[in-house]
Amino acid sequence: MTTTLTTSPLAPLLDRLFAQADAATSPALAGISREERARLMHSRTEYLDFYGRLKDLWLPVSRQTGALLYLLARSTGARNVVEFGTSFGISTLHLAAALRDNGGGRLIGSEFEPSKVARAREHLAEGGFADLVEIREGDALQTLASDLPDTIDLLLLDGAKALYGDILALLEPRLRPGALIVADNADDSPDYLAHMRSPASGYLSVPFAQDVELSMRLG
């Protein structure tokens, strides 16, 4: 049994992109102290400046999280997927493969760094997914505020950590009961975690693997 994820052209493309991601370096990052990095990462006002300085870094999901995204989107038969934080498109490729194998759908990505948007579009075209994926350029707080599908089956949160709650609130009215929310590196977003794990939140939420919070919309 073959899947789009594990066959050509996507499988060798992902091998190449993960290798490129591993090799990428950022002189700008080296100039920022660990404390300043932590402060900027949690800032609600300086995230564009911070991620702009990191524009050479891919910061992709791990290989395991990529496979998890494919698996979750496949197993739930997802047709409408939204992604906060596309970068060079590695997570997007996994999600697009699942839509392809589900028989089609719509994937809306979001990324404010124009050079990353251009590269992600190239990678998605190379994988054969241009018909399924739209990457919205700009701050996701604006680009994901309108023109959304009526229902969303799966949401990946992987942009500025301080905005996870804001992006969820934007999309929440469209999340269908049973919709999945995958939040990468959610430990850096303690307010989001506290909200999702609270019994009154309307979600069932568990830490999953090393760096993912997996949540399901209850109703």
Ligand X SMILES: C[S@@+](CC[C@H](N)C(=O)[O-])C[C@H]1O[C@@H](n2cnc3c(N)ncnc32)[C@H](O)[C@@H]1O
Q: Applying CB under 6 A, does 119 fall inside the site for ligand X?
A: no
- Whole-number Cα distances in Å, 134 to 44, 83, 86, 117: 26, 10, 11, 10
Is residue 61 involved in binding ligand X (CB under 6 A)? Answer: yes
Task: Determine which residue in the list 100, 116, 123, 217 makes contact with ligand X, applying CB under 6 A.
Answer: 116
> At closest approach, how far in Å is the CB of 118 from ligand X?
13
Answer yes or no whether residue 161 interacts with ligand X by CB under 6 A.
no
Is position 159 an interface residue for ligand X (rule: CB under 6 A)?
A: yes
Name beta bridge partners: 156.
Answer: 83, 182
- Is 95 a residue that touches ligand X (CB under 6 A)? no
Which of 113, 213 has the CB closer to ligand X?
A: 113
Per DSSP, the residues of 42-92 read T-SSSHHHHHHHTTT---PPPHHHHHHHHHHHHHTT--EEEEE--TTSHHH
Query: Per CB under 6 A, which region of 85-93, 95-103, 175-183, 189-197 contacts ligand X?
Result: 85-93
The CA distances from residue 201 to 42, 142, 197, 208, 216, in Å, are 22, 24, 7, 18, 11
Tell me which of 47, 70, 129, 203 binds ligand X, using CB under 6 A: 47
Q: Which residue is nearest to ligand X (CB)?
A: 85
**Which of these ranges, 108-116, 146-154, 187-195, 205-213, lies near ligand X under the rule CB under 6 A?**
108-116
From residue 189, give the alpha-carbon distance in Å to each of 49, 60, 90, 192, 193.
Answer: 18, 17, 22, 5, 6
The binding site for ligand X (CB under 6 A) comprises 47, 51, 58-61, 85-88, 90-91, 110-113, 116, 139-141, 158-160, 163
